[in-house]
Amino acid sequence: MPRAAYIFSVGIILLMMGVSFYGLRHIPADAMLPSHWNIKGEVDDYAPRNVMLALFPALGLIVSVLFAAIPCIDPRRENVWRSAGLYYASWFGVLGLMAALHFVIVSAAANGAEPDSRLILLPICVLLIVIGNFMAKSRSTWFIGLRTPWTLSSEAAWIAANRAAGWLFVATGVATAAAIYLVDVRSGFVVMFAGVLAAAAIGVAISYLVWRDDPSRAK
């Protein structure tokens, strides 16, 4: 495992801890911070300040440990490295998304406001675009990518399904960002949810169809 991956993870976690420390000093102790958004892009749930300030750094640590363990426990370890772009994009992308959301939520709360929903959606758009791009170039693994019984028993099914779903994720990220600014935030949320569901459904269907016709599939 390249040392740079650990350094990056530790750096992001320390950054989130720094944001949390800032929140402790600038957000009232009894404040409730946004913790969930509905499909309209409106905050519909809150959590206590200390819970939210501890949550993101803790999740960042858990995510980093889980991703670091993947090459050690995946039966298709060689494919993890053949899909290194997707592996690192997923790891660093998730951490980056968490750091961005943490910063947006804490900085807004420190100013006595609710976070701009556009700033919640835009990092997700970036993650969809980045991960989708690398999905289209990946090989079968047990922990990353579009995994179905058919993609895991047919490399042809994996390639076809992940290529289709990956480019649909890219399209969803672009369409969501466009909807946010050309229409409104609610439309952006709807486009994102619909696009992700469509990409997953189409990817699953393609994986079965290709697997069915693949003479080299695992029996």
In which band, very low, low, confident or very high, does the pLDDT at 145 lie, cut at 50, 70 and 90? Answer: very high
Residue 156 to residue 33: CA distance in whole angstroms: 46
Q: For all residues of the chain together, what is the average pLDDT?
A: 92
pLDDT at residue 14 is higher than 90 = yes
Mean pLDDT score, 45-72 = 94
Mean pLDDT score, 134-140 = 91
Check if the beta carbon of residue 172 is closer than 8 Å to that of residue 128.
Answer: yes
pLDDT at residue 211 is higher than 90 = yes
pLDDT at residue 155 is higher than 70 = yes
Cβ-based burial of 218 (10 A; exposed 0-12, middle 13-18, buried ≥19): exposed
Residue 117 to residue 110: CA distance in whole angstroms: 16
Tell me, what amino acid is at 96? Answer: G
Residue 52, sorted as left (phi over 0), alpha (psi -120 to 50) or beta, turns out to be: alpha
Task: List the one residue out of 15, 31, 14, 54 whose CA is nearest residue 110.
Answer: 31
In which band, very low, low, confident or very high, does the pLDDT at 91 lie, cut at 50, 70 and 90? Answer: very high
Task: List the one residue out of 168, 144, 155, 132 whose CA is nearest residue 207.
Answer: 155
Q: What is the pLDDT of residue 123?
A: 93
- The predicted model scores a pTM of 0.89
